[in-house]
Structure 1
Amino acid sequence: MNPSLLRAYINIAEKPGITKRDTLTIARRMLRTVCQSQKVIYAERHALRRQARKLRQFLPFTAQAVADLEQQAGDHCALELDGIRPVLIAFGQTIIHDREGIAAALGFEGMCDLLNINPVHREQARRDGDVTLQGLAYIARLEDSATGYGDEWGAGGPLYEACHAATINFIRTCPEHLLPDMFAPGEAFGPKLPPELRIVG
């Protein structure tokens, strides 16, 4: 992660008279930088673990080398990752709750322009009701919609990754009795409720 670049973004964001459009643009650029740093760290950790897996076939002679590589992978850039997580969580909470009123200030088309959403995907988002900042960036995963992030869980644009980090943090830190039962009837993973029948007269 490039601290001087992030500091430059923060200095721009703190200037008086900054617009909501500028705020979202800066947030996207900062998150892109942070997410790229995180990806590089994870790739380097994965490479170390891959080396450890290769050495496993020669166990027990390579036991110490395997343990060293796994320890190295776990420790690699741990402090940097610990610094990245709170940034993602903070931005994610801002996007999910939109307390700054970015969606209201920019409107649907303005948000779509800044998030680089194709016209075809915009129409689908309208039909699905994903017209908020959270709906476009997190629920529908439409940021840079031409990129196609696939169906992998947790994969998406920088704003999506921030929202995902905030959601995971909420699930981890929320008292268990306050979390919704996702397997209850009518919930996401629960049995579907029967349709509500009404007599029309």
Structure 2
Amino acid sequence: MTHNLIPILADIAEKPGTTKRDTLTIARRALRHVCQARREIHAERRALSRQVGKLRQFLPFTAQAVADLEQQASDHRTPELDTLRRVLVVYGQTIIHDSDGIADALGFDQLADLLSINPAHREQARRDGGETLQGLAYIARMEDSATDYGDEWGKGGPMYEACHAVMVDFIRTCPEHLLPDPFAPGEMFGPKLPPQLRVV
């Protein structure tokens, strides 16, 4: 259903009378379906991995079956997963840059309504994420704020997952010499630098 729905939603989004409100609603709907499809594929892979765990109890007699099943779990629906990841990255870039000007056109209150930010969480959302699409969906993680996604890294609403996919893709594809080293002296995980002393 996801493969048929995404082109249909894209066609609706490209119609000339589509408003910014419609654009955001369509994006959220498409992202929900993409994220659901990804979860299903990951669940199927985990099921295969559980079978591997059961077969490991009978090693060395099941060594070949374990190796085959591990390979099957690793390769399971990989082309679909890659396509879904690319769709997430494209949507995530649109959300991060807000090239359509959705946040400015809608204002905070309409944006909060469309992102399903609970009225009780709106002041916190404004403090944490400002009034930008990226800030509310990714930085503040307030999309569907009544839903508890937990504090697990990479877990959040569909728009958060799209923005997160962009960040992961950036880290994966950025040349290594351009990324900061968090373990360098004076950085977050690196050794502390000695204080700079001056004569006053």
Length-normalised TM-score, structure 2: 0.89
* Mapping 1:73-112, distance limit 5 Å: 73-112=73-112
Distance 1:64 1:184, change over 3 A: closer
Distance 1:4 1:17, change over 3 A: same
**Alignment check: 8 A CA contact 1:183 1:189 kept:** yes
Q: Which runs of 5+ in 2 are unaligned?
A: 193-200
**1:158 matched residue in structure 2:** 158
Alpha-carbon distance, 1:82 to partner: 1.4
Alpha-carbon distance, 1:180 to partner: 3.7
For 2:57, give the aligned amino acid: Q
Alpha-carbon distance between aligned partners in 1 of 2:95 and 2:68, rounded to the nearest angstrom: 40
**1:8 matched residue in structure 2:** 8
**1:128 matched residue in structure 2:** 128
| Cα deviation digits, residues 18-50 of structure 1 (max 9, x gap) | 111111100000010011000000000000001
Aligned to 2:58, the other structure's residue is in SS state coil
Alpha-carbon distance, 1:183 to partner: 5.5
**1:49 matched residue in structure 2:** 49
**1:65 matched residue in structure 2:** 65
Aligned to 2:114, the other structure's residue is in SS state helix
Q: Which moved more, 1:120-129 or 1:136-145?
A: 120-129
For 1:75, give the aligned amino acid: D
Alpha-carbon distance, 1:126 to partner: 1.9
**1:40 matched residue in structure 2:** 40
Aligned to 2:150, the other structure's residue is in SS state coil
Q: Which runs of 5+ in 1 are unaligned?
A: 193-201
| Cα deviation digits, residues 143-179 of structure 1 (max 9, x gap) | 1000110011110111011000001101111222333
For 1:23, give the aligned amino acid: T
**1:197 matched residue in structure 2:** none
Distance 1:21 1:150, change over 3 A: same
Alpha-carbon distance between aligned partners in 2 of 1:23 and 1:185, rounded to the nearest angstrom: 46
**Alignment check: 8 A CA contact 1:130 1:139 kept:** no
Percentage identity across aligned positions?
Answer: 73
**Alignment check: 8 A CA contact 2:128 2:135 kept:** no
**Alignment check: 8 A CA contact 2:45 2:73 kept:** yes
Alpha-carbon distance between aligned partners in 2 of 1:3 and 1:37, rounded to the nearest angstrom: 9
Kindly tell me the number of residue pairs found equivalent between the two proteins: 193
